[in-house]
Structure 1
C-alpha cells in the first residue's frame, strides 16, 4: 500500500516538473496553471522546512 502511495506521489511530482518545463517553453494554458501550482507548492514546502530548521537552531542554543 505504501509503495502505491509513494508511486502516485512520484508520478505527481514528475508531472508537475514536466509542466513547469513545458510552460517555460510556451505550453498550453492548463500546463501553465499546473506549473504555477507546482511552484507554489514547492515554495510552501521550502518555507515550512526553513521554519522547522529555525526552531531547531533556537532550541540548540539554549
Structure 2
C-alpha cells in the first residue's frame, strides 16, 4: 500500500513539474503531460462538486 501511495505521489509531483516546465516552453512531451495533469485535476474537481451536490440534495434541508 505504501508503494502505491509513493507511486501516486511521484506521478503528482512529476505532473506538476511538467506543468511548470510546459509554461516555460518545455518540449512537446512535457506539454502533453501537463495537459493530461490539468485535465485530471479538472475531472477530480468536477467529481468533488458533484459529490457535494448529491450530499446536499439528500439531506432534506431545503436550504434553497
Q: TM-score range by the shorter chain?
A: over 0.9
Specify the alignment match of 2:47 in structure 1: 48
Aligned residues: 61
TM-score relative to the length of structure 1:
0.95
Write out the 4+ residue segments of structure 1 that deviate beyond 2 Å after TM superposition.
Answer: none
Query: Superposition RMSD on alpha carbons, in Å?
Result: 0.8
Specify the alignment match of 2:19 in structure 1: 20
Larger Cα-atom Rg: 2
Kindly indicate which of the two structures has a greater share of residues assigned to helix.
1
Structure 2: state its 5+ residue gaps: none
